[in-house]
Structure 1
């Protein structure tokens, strides 16, 4: 299975960017208070993308025997929790469009941090 690691990694990266793009689209609709957020496929797709993303990530960690988790991966998982919390504020829990916009911006910054942690294999992300 290790021979498929490169494919898994590329699929994981693709799923990450697709998840981010769809998050930004939904957050834009949320800030503009669009009814598009209520369409069934719009509600379902993020769960599909994020399940794929997490499954690929866990599979790669298992293939590489990353246990205990290295500090960069632990930092990335903490970032993921923060990203999810900010995402819920950006999409549905933010009481005003302004709050949802700020949460969107912060969530994207956290995503960029997670990219840096993954790319540089360092919890300092882009600032190592």
Structure 2
């Protein structure tokens, strides 16, 4: 399975970028209260992509025998993923006002940026000077 590592890694990275792109567009539509958010494909496509993203991430974790309790950066990335998901639901569905959805959307993008930085640097404290 290691012979497929680079393919799986690049698919994971591609689906991550698609996830962010889908999220940002849907969050913008949510703030604008655009009716397109109610279209079936808008509701389905991002979830299909995010499921694939998660499956590829778990595949990489198992393939490399990297577990969150052994790698603090991976644990931090998973916690940031939970924050991203929770903030994303506020930004797209559960925010009470367009302003609240906008703030949640920006916070979700920050959480995504933290996940990305942590993944690239393999350091959960990459933002701190030192």
Give yes or no for TM over 0.5. Answer: yes
Deviation, 1:28, is 0.4
**Higher mean C-alpha deviation, range 29-38 or range 118-127:** 118-127
Name 1:51's counterpart in structure 2. Answer: 51
Moved over 4 A (4+): none
**Higher mean C-alpha deviation, range 53-62 or range 63-72:** 63-72
**Residue aligned with 2:74, SS:** helix
**Stretches of structure 1 lacking an aligned partner (at least 5 in a row):** none
**Stretches of structure 2 lacking an aligned partner (at least 5 in a row):** none
Aligned: 1:23 with 2:20: no
**What is the RMSD of the two structures over their aligned residues, measured on CA atoms?**
1.1
Name 1:36's counterpart in structure 2. Answer: 36
Deviation, 1:127, is 3.5
**Residue aligned with 1:127, SS:** coil
* Count of aligned pairs between the two proteins: 128
Name 1:113's counterpart in structure 2. Answer: 114
d(CA) in 1 for partners of 2:61, 2:91: 29
d(CA) in 1 for partners of 2:128, 2:18: 25
**Residue aligned with 1:21, SS:** helix
